[in-house]
Structure 1
Amino acid sequence: MQTSMLRLVALVTARYNWQRDEVSIGQAELSGLWGVTDRTVKREIKRLIESGYLIRTREGVKGRVAAYRLNHHFIAQVSQGCASSIGSDFAARVQSQRPVEQEQPKVLQLAEFVDRQQNRKIPENGTPWSQVCSLLKSRDPANYANWYSRLDGTAEGVTLVLEAQGGFLSGYVATHLADTLEQATRDALGPEWSVSIRRT
């Protein structure tokens, strides 16, 4: 555990944001800071959390690093025996620490998620895009809820211009759903219509 404590001290000294009371750091950066492998980083973070010294406040996912907070109350508890020898100010701080209640993440049940997705509204009635949406929702409600309903559509002549927010959405629609969109547009509006997908 002594090695873990030294690594924790290095992490806090180098990267801890005291104003926000957290440290936000990626696995690769931690690996470089500690001079260890990614596997050791995972094991060390798990040990520090399970032993009570760290609290994970945000999971690390693709494109976003994890965030951690010092468990001040626990650290104060394990420091009580030597607090007075460190100094009166530190001892007073230890005595003032109280447990921090961690907010439990809200778990969205699958049925609730599906219900929300399937109840996405069709755009304003009467527009070319609303007519296409009605057809898409009746033919393929799952893809309508997950993909088509996230698009904004406007007509430019006989071209249905679909705007997608972000590269992932526009790329997925163009790669996987373009043919279905073209067919639904022709079926709903006429054979002369075409589709253009734009990223916003």
Structure 2
Amino acid sequence: MGRGAAARKYDLLTALGAHALSQDRTEQVLALRLMTLITARYNWGRDELAVGVREIARLWSVDERTVKREMAKLRARGWVELTRAGARGRVAEYALGIERLMQDTRPGWERVGPDFACRLDAGEADDKVVPLPIRGEVPPPDLSGGSEWALAQALLHAEEPGLYASWLRALTRDSRAGGRLVLAAPSRFHAAYVQTHLSARLLAACRDVDGGVSEVTVIAAG
């Protein structure tokens, strides 16, 4: 999972749990076993699950034959991927099949809530970001208006022009009430993505140019 793993792991477990609760007992047991294994032994930062058959059997309260059969099912579905086979004195290592897990659990996202579904959709888009042009190819923002948002955009452009070009250039100043600054995005998806993933960065930039800003909210234009 790499960067952002800590923020996303609960969404993945929620998606898997919601999926399981809509299925029959066999599917529920398989999902529960994977969720327990993920929670107990998965290294989110390195995308690594290194655990032996005997340890899994003890965790699941089953015999080793059952472990081998269930792990084979998980691999066949693409929910886990073998990255290094076990050998004498070394346990097998696995990675999570994040993309396949997302595909298979997608029908249950709306049952958790529209905000949850939108957040996971935004997360999938984030995982597929295409590299953007270098600094010299991204034009700076227009500062003629002199608003706190125009100045904050200039800071964001200077720090990370690719991110600015992809997500922040299209944001416009909608309104300001006290410390609350409202920005408008060109679509609902765009607004949800920025609010979920970039709100802290927006607030920091705005506060750098105007200490009176205490909150930044992103809405869909229109």
TM-score under structure 2 normalisation?
Answer: 0.41
From the CA coordinates, give the structure whose radius of gyration is larger. 1
